[in-house]
Amino acid sequence: MSDALDKAEQAVRNAETDTAAVQLALAAMELAKLATQQQAQAPVHQCQHDHRKAGRSTGEWIGIACAVCVGSIGLAFASLALAILGGVGAIVVLVVRDMWREAQRKGR
């Protein structure tokens, strides 16, 4: 591309007429040439740190799923234990109440 710009620049310089149009064309060629040189010299910025995606990895999701499963099983066992404890407590209360009534009847 630089060769084409050099050839165009040379053609403009060799033109017989020195008009405003030729001067504008020459200025445009110089600007294009400077722009291509600056683009070639501009260093490409590369980050030194690792770009990770914002989401979680597959291993993290599997770990979360396992933790939820274990937690839900623990919650189910705790609920079952509370239900058994409530039933046993109700039976104990009924038996004690019946014993109390019997003791009150026999005591009269």
Cα dihedral 31/37/40/45 (nearest 10): -70
CA-to-CA separations, 28 to 5, 8, 34, 58, 65, in angstroms, rounded: 10, 11, 10, 55, 64
For 49-75, the pLDDT digits (tens) are 776 667 888 999 999 999 999 999 999
Domain boundaries in the chain? Answer: 2-39, 79-108
Among 61, 62, 5, CA closest to 34: 5
Written as six digits, the tokens of 44 are 């490409």
Lowest average pLDDT, out of 1-5, 29-33, 39-43, goes to 39-43
Written as six digits, the tokens of 17 are 């007429």
Q: What's the pLDDT at 68?
A: 96
Give the Cα separation of 41 and 56 in Å (integer): 39
Cα dihedral 39/40/41/42 (nearest 10): 40
- The percent of residues above 90 in pLDDT, for the chain, comes to 43
Q: What's the whole-model pTM score?
A: 0.42
CA angle 73, 76, 82 (to 5 degrees): 145
Above 70 in pLDDT, residue 12? no
Q: What's the pLDDT at 28?
A: 77
Higher pLDDT: 79 or 8? It is 79
Among 2, 69, 81, CA closest to 35: 2
Q: Are 2 and 33 in contact (CB under 8 A)?
A: yes
